[in-house]
Amino acid sequence: MTSTPPAASASAPAAQPSAAAAALPADHPGVVELFALLAYGEVAAFYRLTEEARMAPNLRGRINMASMAAAEMNHYEVLRDELERRGVDVVPAMTRYASALENYHRLTTPSTWLEALVKTYVGDALAADFYLEIADAMPGAVADVVRSVLSETGHSQFVVAEVRSAVTASDRQRHRLALWSRRLLGEAITQAQYVMADHDELVDLVMSAGGLSQITEFFDRLQQTHSTRMQELGLA
Amino acid sequence: MTSTPPAASASAPAAQPSAAAAALPADHPGVVELFALLAYGEVAAFYRLTEEARMAPNLRGRINMASMAAAEMNHYEVLRDELERRGVDVVPAMTRYASALENYHRLTTPSTWLEALVKTYVGDALAADFYLEIADAMPGAVADVVRSVLSETGHSQFVVAEVRSAVTASDRQRHRLALWSRRLLGEAITQAQYVMADHDELVDLVMSAGGLSQITEFFDRLQQTHSTRMQELGLA
């Protein structure tokens, strides 16, 4: 997941670490699962970005996509090291999350360069909102790892300029891309639910930490930060 | 270019900085050309590695290729920053080297996963030998940049184990891959000559530095380090 600023922290106060979080052990089995899920997310995003870079109209666009992809692999390596430190082989651990993440990418394959840009920006920011919300409820050392692999790298800023300029020039593009980003939101939520349904340790982690106990508020915040990003892209 | 150790420095003494090198100005116009050539090399290698990763038999192989590709982009960013510091926009500068590098990759497209692995290891090591030989004759600050972007990252060690095991099990594979690596050597030399023929500043840089003045010895060393690597891969 890249690299977009967690809009949540700017536009709405994130959940504070709960009393449950302080009590949550750093070796909770869900921690390994969370890292494995994030690790597969990084590798899947790497290959998705390099694939979508084929649609770039020029070398500069291809290079921007490659830089973002490289940042994903740097984050993957942090997660792999954390898993190794816990005696876990990253490859079999992350394979359990392959189907949900591959499904998300398969169901949201962009058909134009602008769709690819919007997906990069909005899709990854949604993932970051989701994980950072969970991180807020985790023990400090675990939260630090999650935050570092979702940290701002500044790579995606080129997306805003390019999308804004395209939708300013064409109402048709604006409507198309607004629908597209709504679809990204829907698929992300659907796949997140599948992941939770299939992985009890993860649900237990999130629930014991109290991170998503106020689930309605959480989805409200997600919608709100999504709207903020739509405005940034000129799609609101 | 990755990441393989410069075998030259282990197996044969590299050229010492000449008196000419000390006199060579760090703002020689060839320096920008050398950085631009290396920068395109990194981006081309990034996309080549991610393309060839499709042939990987499993997730572990795909991840290894992605890690090597990410290292190329990290090196690209060093070169881009060095060019920017010199007031040069990297994209137009590097575009001048697109055809030679794309031709090299087009003419050496692997048809199997083992060919892809051998190309990664041998092809990139050849490029490193070539650039490091030039670097030895450059002013210190320029040489440091060249060495840092060709530095060992340890990523390609997995190649040795996988190729050795395949060629130990099959004489047919050994012969096929030995021919393949000879072809890589030939194409690399051909494209290096095209690059030199088309870019006078680069030739002037190399010649004023005295780096390739003993051109016969240089090609002897290249052959010799190539043979060393053939032995490492079990292809000799």
Indicate the DSSP class of residue A218.
H
B29-49 burial, b if ≥16 CB within 10 A, otherwise e?
ebbbbbbbbbbbbbbbbbbbb
| End-to-end CA, chain A | 24
The predicted model gives A172-194 an average pLDDT of: 89
How many Å apart are CA A5 and CA A128, to the nearest integer?
8
Q: Return the residue of A nearest to B49 by Cα.
A: A50
pLDDT of residue A213: 56
Of A47, A60, A66, the CB nearest to B46: A66
Tokens of B75: 């090196």
Given a cut of 90, whether residue B55 has pLDDT beyond it is yes
pLDDT of residue B139: 82
Residues 6 or more apart in contact with residue A215 via CB below 8 angstroms: none
Chain A residues 61-80 within an 8 A CB cutoff of chain B: 62-63, 66-67, 69-70, 72-74, 76-77
B39 part of a folded domain = yes
Residues 6 or more apart in contact with residue B41 via CB below 8 angstroms: B1, B97, B101, B127
- For the stretch B28-49, pLDDT in tens is 888 999 999 999 999 999 999 9
Looking up tokens 């690596």, which residue turns up? B181
How many Å apart are CA B191 and CA B99, to the nearest integer?
9
B136 part of a folded domain = yes
Q: Return the residue of A nearest to B47 by Cα.
A: A50
The Cα-based distances of A88 to A25, A96, A136, A154, B65 in angstroms read 17, 13, 24, 31, 21
pLDDT of residue B211: 54
Given a cut of 70, whether residue B6 has pLDDT beyond it is no
pLDDT of residue A3: 42
- For the stretch B63-105, pLDDT in tens is 999 999 999 999 999 999 999 999 999 999 999 999 999 999 9
Size of interface A-B (CB pairs under 8 A): 62
Q: Which one is predicted more confidently, A125 or A67? A: A67
A142 part of a folded domain = yes
**Minimal C-alpha gap between A220 and chain B (Å):** 36
Is A81 touching B (CB cutoff 8 A)? no
> Residue ranges of the alpha helices (H) in chain A?
7-11, 19-23, 29-52, 59-85, 90-95, 98-107, 113-118, 124-135, 140-149, 157-169, 171-198, 200-208, 215-232
- For the stretch A109-123, pLDDT in tens is 999 999 999 998 887
CB contact under 8 A, A70 and B67: no
- For the stretch A73-119, pLDDT in tens is 999 999 999 999 999 999 999 999 999 999 999 999 999 999 999 99
Is A95 touching B (CB cutoff 8 A)? yes
A18 part of a folded domain = no
Is A89 touching B (CB cutoff 8 A)? no
Tokens of A230: 């739509």
How many Å apart are CA A206 and CA B212, to the nearest integer?
62
How many Å apart are CA A188 and CA A182, to the nearest integer?
10
B183 part of a folded domain = yes
> Residue ranges of the alpha helices (H) in chain B?
7-11, 19-23, 29-52, 59-85, 90-95, 98-107, 113-118, 124-135, 140-149, 157-169, 171-198, 200-208, 215-232
CATH number of the domain bearing residue B116? 1.20.1260.10
Residues 6 or more apart in contact with residue A71 via CB below 8 angstroms: A2, A3, A153, A155
Given a cut of 50, whether residue A11 has pLDDT beyond it is no
Indicate the DSSP class of residue A15.
P
A200 part of a folded domain = yes
Given a cut of 80, whether residue A162 has pLDDT beyond it is yes
Test mutation, B40, B50, B83, chain A, max A CBs within 10 A = B50
Indicate the DSSP class of residue B209.
T
Q: How many of the other CB atoms lie within 10 Å of CB of A216?
A: 7
Q: Return the residue of B nearest to A60 by Cα.
A: B91
Domain ranges, residue B186? 26-232
B205 part of a folded domain = yes
Q: How many of the other CB atoms lie within 10 Å of CB of B139?
A: 18
Tokens of B221: 């060393």
- For the stretch A30-66, pLDDT in tens is 899 999 999 999 999 999 999 999 899 999 999 999 9
pLDDT above 90 covers what percent of chain A?
Answer: 42
Considering chain B, what is the average pLDDT of its residues?
82
A7 part of a folded domain = no
Chain A residues 131-150 within an 8 A CB cutoff of chain B: none
The predicted model gives B194-214 an average pLDDT of: 75
**Minimal C-alpha gap between B211 and chain A (Å):** 31
DSSP per-residue codes, A146-191: HHHHT-B-STTHHHHHHHHHHHHH-HHHHHHHHHHHHHHHHHHHHH
Number of separate domains in chain A: 1
CB contact under 8 A, B73 and A69: yes
**Minimal C-alpha gap between B46 and chain A (Å):** 8
Q: SS3 for A14?
A: coil
CB contact under 8 A, B62 and A74: no
How many Å apart are CA A197 and CA A210, to the nearest integer?
17
Of the candidates B133, B171, B142, the one whose C-alpha atom is nearest the C-alpha of residue B83 is: B142
